[in-house]
Amino acid sequence: MIYDLEKENKEILARYKDLITNTYRTLDEEQNKLIRKAFDIALDAHKDQRRKTGEPYIYHPIEVAKIVANEVGLGATSIACALLHDVVEDSEYTYEDLLKIFGKTIADIVSGLTKISAMNQQNISVQSENYRKLLLTLSEDFRVILIKIADRLHNMRTLESMHPAKQKKIASETAYIYAPLAHRFGLYSIKSELEDLSLKYNNPEVYNEILTKLETAKEVREKYVEEFTKEVSEQLKEENLNFTIKGRAKAISSIYRKMQKQNVSFEEVYDNYAIRIIYKSDPRNEKFLAWKIYSIVTDLYQSNPSRMRDWISQPRSTGYESLHLTVMGPDKKWIEVQIRSERMNEIAEKGVAAHYKYKEGYRKNNDDQRFESWVSEIRDVLDQQQNLSTSELLDNIKLNLYSKEVFVFTPKGEIKILPTGATALDFAFSVHSDLGTKCLGAKINGKLVPISYVLQNGDQIDILSSQNQKPKSDWLEFVVTSKAKSKIKNILNSEKNQHTTEGKEILQRKMRHAKLNFSDEEINGLQKFLNLKTSQDLYLGFQNGSFDIGDIKRYADGKSILSNIFQRFRKSNKEEYVEKVDSNLDMIVFGKDEERLNYSFAKCCTVIPGDKIFGFITISDGIKIHNDSCPNAINLRANYDYRVLQAKWVNAESFKNRVKIEIEGLDRIGMINDITAVISGSMNMDMKSMSISSNDGIFTGNINLEVKNKSQLEETFKQLKSINGVSKVKRL
C-alpha cells in the first residue's frame, strides 16, 4: 500500500500541537521541553510501524498522551511516559537508554507499563496473572496504572479493526478490571466510557437497542432540560449565584445494569438521564451554597427523600463529592439532580489528579487520608499475595472497587468508611489485623452484638477481643473486605499446612504397619477409596482422627476387586458419553476450520439454537457451550481467553431445549386459558411445567417450555405480550 507520508507528517505534528495546547495542567517551558524530547524519541522508535488500521503507529501514543493530559489530568512526567509507553517493547530502545535520557522516574514508569504489556502477549496458565502484575504496580507508582487505563481507553475506542473474537476478549478484560480501577481512582467519565464500549462489543444487540432509544428520546430530553433550567435559573439568579445547568443521558451500561437489576424494560427505567447544577464558589462557602441550591430546587419541585444522597458532608472514599436528589420534574416524572461546585465536578471527572491540584485551601486532609487508606489496604492484601491464587487476589481487591459504602464511628468518634455489607469483624480488621484475629464480639451503640453483625450508617462500634481467640473458617462467610478475607485465609492456610504435614507423617507410619508403600499410586488409590477430592483432605483426615488404620486395611483388602470395578465403570461410562454426544455432532462446529468436536452444555446459562454462543475448554469435563450473554462470559474471556473457542450452529432444527420464562400482569378470569392457548395452540409448543400465583390482583408465573429455536421463542414472547393484562414476559 502507498502512503502519503507528507500528509501523515503534517497530521502527526497537528496532533502533537493539540496535545501540548490542551493540557489539564499549566506547563512551564521546562515541562514542554521534556514532552517534546519524549515525542521525538517516540517518533523515532515507531517511525516504521503501523497500526492494524494502516495508520502510523505514533498516532496511538499521542492519543494516549492526550487522554493522560486532558481526561485523566496528569502532569508533564506522565504525558512524557504516555508518549514513551510502547518504546521499550516495540523498538530497539532499552530501559538503560531511557534511564540515561530521562532519569529513573520516567524509565521506571515505562518499565512498569512494558511489564504489563509483555504479560498481555502471553497465553499463560492463569490469564489474570496480568492483573497481579498491574496491581503490584500500586506499591510502585500510581501513574503506571493511570497511564495503562488511558492506553486501554484508546484501544477500546479503536477496537473496530480487530477480529470479533479478539474484540470480545479485550472488551471482557476491560469490564473485568480496567473499568473498576478507573472507578476506584475517581475517573467516573472514563469508567462509564470503558463500560459502554465493553458492552458495545460483548453485547452489541443490547447496546444498539439502548443507544437507538436514547437518540429517539433526545429531543424530548433537551426540551425537558430547557424547561427545568428556565424555572430553576430564575431563582438561582435572584440569589446572585454563578452557575451552569447541564442535562445528560446516563451511561448505556448504567441503564442496562438497572434494567437487569430491577428486571424492567428501558421505558421503565425512570431516571435514565440526569441534570447537573455546577456552581462557582470559594472554599469557605462551598458547602453552604450546595445546600442553598438544594433548598431552591426542593422548593420548586417535590423531592423523593429515599433517593437523597449527601456526598458533600461525607465524601466517598474516592474523594467524590456531590449532592444527589430525585425530584418530580416539570413533566411530573422523577429526575435525578446533581449539585456540585466546579472543584467537586473536576474531582468527579479527573479523580486522583484533581485531588492534588486542589490540595491547598480545601478539606484536603480527609480526602487524601481516605484515598491513602484505600491504597494501604490494597498494599496489605498484596503483602499476603504469596498465599493467595491470582484469581483470589483479584477477587479480593475487586470487592472494594465497586462497593457502596457505610460510615461508622470508632469509640473516640473518628469516622471509618467500609463497604456496604461490612460486619463488626471487618471493622476490627480495618483498625488492625491483630484486633481482627482476636475479635470476640462488639458493642454497637452500647449494645452487645456478634462479630457477624452487619454495620449500619452512623453506628458507633467498640470491639471486644481476647488473646485466646483465633480465626475460624466460617469467618470467611460473613466478612466482605479484602483485608479481612486475605488475613483470615492466610492464617487458616498456615494452620492447614501445619496439620497437613502432621497428617502426612501419621499416614506414612500407618501405611508401613499395613505393609503398603507410601507412593503416589497408593495415595491416589486410598484417596479415591475414601471418596476424597485431594490428597490434602486425606492427610487432614488422618491428622484429625476421621480416618485410622482400619480404613487403610479395608482399602488394602479390597484393592484388586475395587480396581476391576473402577475399570468396568470407566469403560461403560465412556461408551455412554460418546454415544450421547455423537448424536449431537451435527449441531455445533468450532474454530475457523469448523471442526466437529465432543461437547456438552454449561449449567450456568440456558442455550437454545440461534443464540450467540462460544465453547470453553474445561480442565476435567471437555468443551462446555455457553451463551454469549452468560453471567460468567466476561470472567471466562478475561481470565482464560486461550481456552475460549469460536462456536457456530450447524443444524438448529435438530435440537430442542427447555427454557424457563417468567410472566407477570393483572389477574383476571381466563388469563391462564389465554396463556396456554398461545403456547400449546398457536405456537404448538410443549409446556413441561407451569406455576402461577396471584396476590392482590397481580399474577406472576414461571413456565418451562421445550423450544426448537430462538425465532420460535421470540414469536411466543410477542404473542404473550399481546394478551390483555400481561405486562412483562422475560426469559430466565
260 and 311 in one domain? yes
Give the per-residue pLDDT at 39.
Answer: 94
Among residues 327, 362, 397, the one where a domain terminates is: 362
Asked, for residue 562, whether it belongs to a domain, the answer is no
Pairing of strands 613-617, 644-649: antiparallel
Cα(429)–Cα(145) distance, rounded to whole angstroms?
27
CA nearest neighbour of 394 among 646, 192, 136:
136
Cell numbers given for 141:
507508582
Q: Where do the DSSP E strands lie in 331-435?
A: 334-341, 405-409, 415-419
Cα(188)–Cα(180) distance, rounded to whole angstroms?
10
What are all long-range contacts of 206-210, with beta carbons under 8 Å and residues at least 24 apart? Answer: 206/256, 207/252, 207/256, 209/266, 210/252, 210/255, 210/256, 210/266
User: Which residue segment(s) compose the domain that 588 sits in?
Assistant: 582-654
720 and 616 in one domain? no
Asked, for residue 241, whether it belongs to a domain, the answer is yes
CA nearest neighbour of 237 among 279, 175, 181:
279
674 and 630 in one domain? no
Task: Evaluate whether 83 touches 38 at the Cβ level (below 8 Å).
Answer: yes
Residues 577-594: tens digit of each pLDDT:
333 444 444 478 888 777
611 and 711 in one domain? no
Asked, for residue 25, whether it belongs to a domain, the answer is yes
Give the per-residue pLDDT at 575.
Answer: 45
136 and 92 in one domain? yes
User: Could you tell me the CA-to-CA distances from 547 to 288, 520, 533, 539, 552 in Å, in that order?
Assistant: 70, 19, 15, 9, 8
Q: Identify the CATH number of the domain in which residue 708 sits.
A: 3.30.70.260
Q: Identify the CATH number of the domain in which residue 305 sits.
A: 3.30.460.10
Per DSSP, the three-state class of 702 is strand
Burial of 571 (0-12, 13-18, 19+ CB in 10 A): exposed
Asked, for residue 573, whether it belongs to a domain, the answer is no
Between CA 378 and CA 384, with CA 381 as vertex, the angle to 5 degrees is 150
Among residues 320, 336, 362, the one where a domain terminates is: 362
Among residues 152, 186, 220, the one where a domain terminates is: 186
Neighbours of 69 (CB within 10 A): 25
Asked, for residue 448, whether it belongs to a domain, the answer is no
Task: Evaluate whether 51 touches 60 at the Cβ level (below 8 Å).
Answer: yes
312 and 174 in one domain? no
Task: Evaluate whether 266 touches 213 at the Cβ level (below 8 Å).
Answer: yes
Sheet holding 613-617, edge to edge: 588-590, 644-649, 613-617, 623-627, 599-601
* Phi and psi at residue 479, to the nearest 5°: -85, 150
Pairing of strands 623-627, 599-601: parallel
675 and 637 in one domain? no
Asked, for residue 486, whether it belongs to a domain, the answer is no
Q: Which residues of the chain have pLDDT under 50?
A: 122-128, 360-368, 385-386, 399-400, 402, 562, 565-566, 569-570, 573-586
604 and 701 in one domain? no
45 and 106 in one domain? yes
Residue given cell 491416589 in the structure block: 524
Give the per-residue pLDDT at 84.
Answer: 93
CA nearest neighbour of 344 among 323, 320, 325:
320
Give the per-residue pLDDT at 67.
Answer: 93
Q: At what angle do helices 59-66 and 76-84 cross, to 10 degrees?
A: 160
| Spatial CB neighbours of 177, under 8 Å, sequence gap ≥ 6 | 131, 134, 394, 398, 638
In order, the DSSP letters of 144-196 are HHHHHHHHHHHHHHTGGGS-HHHHHHHHHHIIIIIHHHHHHTT-HHHHHHHHH
User: Could you tell me the CA-to-CA distances from 528 to 500, 509, 520, 539, 566 in Å, in that order?
Assistant: 18, 20, 12, 13, 10
Give the per-residue pLDDT at 608.
Answer: 77
Q: Residue 653 belongs to what H/E stretch?
A: none
Asked, for residue 515, whether it belongs to a domain, the answer is no
Please state the domain count of the chain.
4
627 and 698 in one domain? no
Give the per-residue pLDDT at 42.
Answer: 93
Cα(527)–Cα(13) distance, rounded to whole angstroms?
69
| Spatial CB neighbours of 3, under 8 Å, sequence gap ≥ 6 | 54
Position 175, amino acid: A
Task: Evaluate whether 660 touches 702 at the Cβ level (below 8 Å).
Answer: yes
Give the per-residue pLDDT at 606.
Answer: 79
245 and 153 in one domain? no
Determine the number of helices (DSSP H) and then strands (DSSP E) in the chain: 30, 19
Per DSSP, the three-state class of 415 is strand
687 and 634 in one domain? no
Q: Identify the CATH number of the domain in which residue 73 sits.
A: 1.10.3210.10
Position 660, amino acid: K
Asked, for residue 270, whether it belongs to a domain, the answer is yes
